[in-house]
Amino acid sequence: MSWSEVHALVGENGAGKTTLCNILAGIYRADAGRVIVDGAERDFRSPAHAIDAGIGMVHQHFRLVEPMTVAENIHLGWPETPGVVSQRALNERAERFMGEMGLHVDPTARIWQLSVGEQQRVEILRVLARGARVLILDEPTAVLTAQEAEELFAVVRELAAGGLSVIFITHKLREVLAVSDRLTVLRHGVREITRPTEGATAGEIARLMTGEERVLHVEHRTVTGDPALEVRGVSALNDRGITALHDLDLTVRSGEIVGIAGVSGNGQTELAEVISALRGLESGSITVDGAEVASLSVRAVTDLGVGHIPEDRIGMGMVASAPVKDNAVLHSYWTPQFSRGLALNRQSVIDFAKRLVAEARVQTRSVFATAGQLSGGNQQRLVARREALVADRLLVAAHPTRGLDVNAAQEVRSTILDKRDSGCAVLLISDDLDEVLLMSDRIAVIYEGRIMGVFDAADADRERIGLLMGGHSITGAVA
């Protein structure tokens, strides 16, 4: 990287973008390799070393003190902050510094009063105040509205014009083209290419990001008949109260796998949750076999035969502190198989858990061991199998193979394919495009809570899907 450059670092989730930058910022230590700043090799043992070398990072999650003012946050932990100082002097110093940098936020405002975009600006000011000459922005637009993002691009360009270097991490192609001078594509931790942005096309970047198709083959089908799941005009909020799903339509028929392709954080989590009645709707309707999900409890939706492999398996899909046997029936303990009235039949729970563990080949000492002791792959196999058994009509599988090694991933995939072949509808959500292409009979591309297009497996074109995932509509216009 040279000075005065905006360098975009692009790649899919897990490609290693953030890891690389954490090494640069002194948060992780590299196992091998060197970091050279201004011709000198540096070894960052802590973030302080990186700051000394002029490298500062703005994280996805802000590290601001909410009840304190902007000026206080900028001065917090800044070695140049005077020891004894008045509130007014702090404000004046902050004001002066903002003037130098051409970045303005009201210094007397408290952090919690600011919009996310303004908070981000304070974070950038904090990093700059410590003398950063290389500014790393980790997915800075993930939390911003479209307009805030535009403002950020202007700020970034201005800072670069002033002699700073900026590393801009993103997986949105439009942003790469809009803001960067040069770009580097990472894939599975390996650099695919570094080149000037000028002349690069979104299609080329998308192909480099997602890689080439694997040679594994799954027979795709075209299914007609009644839809098992119908999503009509659904809008929903995320946990922060921002609209995550916009007027979304989707149909999944019995006996088919519909894959949702998209970069994480574009509404996939929320989509899975509204279908399972875990999240309320703002508008629209979701029906499973004709029954309106919004009017049903979580349990009633489960009783319709809806299984859900949640994205956050440890946080939501299981109780790490409870025995494997209790986790085996988490989504079915109230059914007649396990309980009559209030009485829970311990023996049937234990028998079922043993069978589940054997079928899913979960490695555990016993069904009485806590689920938290299982390795991640075993936890995943347990949850996937459990939900497959719950799902008679519809299986919602969110990132079902994330973090699994090749063999474990194949087992989970064959479980899902078996469900499809037995006539169950499957909604497969994954940010691994290879997986979506491999498994799905139809593919829907999601971007910012909207379905950008639906393709039959036969017509699915990797490049076009990659473009849509990055927010480019087919005609090239930004959606």
Partner 1 sequence: MFRGRGSMTPLGSIAGAVLAATPWRLERRLEVDAKRAALTRIGGAVGAMVVVGILLLLTGRNAFWIFWQALDAIFGRQRGIEGVALRAIPILMTALGVALSLRMKVWNIGSDGQFLMGALAAVGVGIHMGGPGWLVLIVMAVAATLAGAAWMLVPALARAYWDVNEIITTLLLNFVALQLVTWSALGFWRDKEAAVIQSTREVAHTLPGLPGAESVTIALLFPLVIAAALWWVFRSTTIGYEIDTIGGNARAAGFAGVAVRRRILVVMLFTGAIAGLGGMLQLSAPGAQAMNAGFSAQFGLSGFIVAALAGASFWGVIGGGVFIASMFYAGIVLQTKGLSVYIIFAIYGAILTGIALGEIAARYRMVRRRADAGAEAPGPPGASEPSEAWGPSAPAAAAEVLEAGS
By beta-carbon proximity to partner 1, the closer residue of 83 and 315 is: 315
The position carrying tokens 């079915």 is 332
Beta carbon of residue 344, minimum distance to partner 1 (angstroms, whole number): 5
Q: What are the C-alpha distances in Å from 263 to residues 20, 148, 168, 183, 455?
A: 19, 20, 17, 19, 17
Nearer to partner 1, 161 or 316 (CB): 316
Give least dist CB 301 to partner 1, A. 8
Measured from the CB of residue 322, what is the shortest distance to partner 1 in angstroms?
Answer: 5
Considering the complex, what minimum distance in angstroms separates the CB of residue 407 from partner 1?
Answer: 21
Please, which residue, 201 or 321, has the CB nearer to partner 1?
321
Cβ-based nearer residue to partner 1, 214 or 346? 346
Binding site for partner 1 (CB under 8 A): 28-29, 276, 278, 297-299, 302, 308, 310, 314-322, 326, 330-331, 333-334, 339, 342-344, 346, 369-370, 372-374
CB contact burial 365-377 (16+ within 10 A = b; e otherwise)? eebeeebeebeeb
The candidate with the shortest Cα–Cα distance to 348, out of 369, 360, 332, 364, is: 332
Q: Which is nearer to partner 1, 320 or 454 (CB)?
A: 320
The single-letter code of the amino acid at 214 is R
DSSP output for 244-295 = EEEEEEEEEETT-EEEEE--TTSSHHHHHHHHTTSS--SEEEEEETTEEGGG
- How far apart (Å, rounded) are the C-alpha atoms in residues 420 and 400? 15
Least distance (Å) between residue 85 CB and partner 1:
33
Q: Show Cβ contacts of residue 101 under 8 Å, excluding neighbours closer than 6 positions.
A: 125, 128, 159, 162
Rounded to a whole number of angstroms, the minimum distance from the CB of residue 316 to partner 1 is 5
Q: What would the two tokens of residue 287 be?
A: 């029906």
Nearest CB to partner 1, comparing residues 275 and 467: 275
- Find tokens 């979104």 and name the residue: 202
From 249, 170, 171, select the one nearest 444 (Cα to Cα).
249
Question: What angle is formed at CA 90 by the lines to CA 84 and CA 93, rounded to 5 degrees?
Answer: 120
Residue 331 or 462: which CB sits closer to partner 1? 331
Q: Which is nearer to partner 1, 343 or 358 (CB)?
A: 343
CB of 293 to partner 1, least distance (A): 13
What's the length of the chain? 479
| Closest distance of CB 369 from partner 1, Å | 7
Residue for token pair 């990132």:
399
Would you say 255 or 317 has its CB closer to partner 1? 317
SS3 192: strand
Minimum distance from residue 234 beta carbon to partner 1 (Å)? 20
H-state helical runs in 316-367: 324-328, 346-359
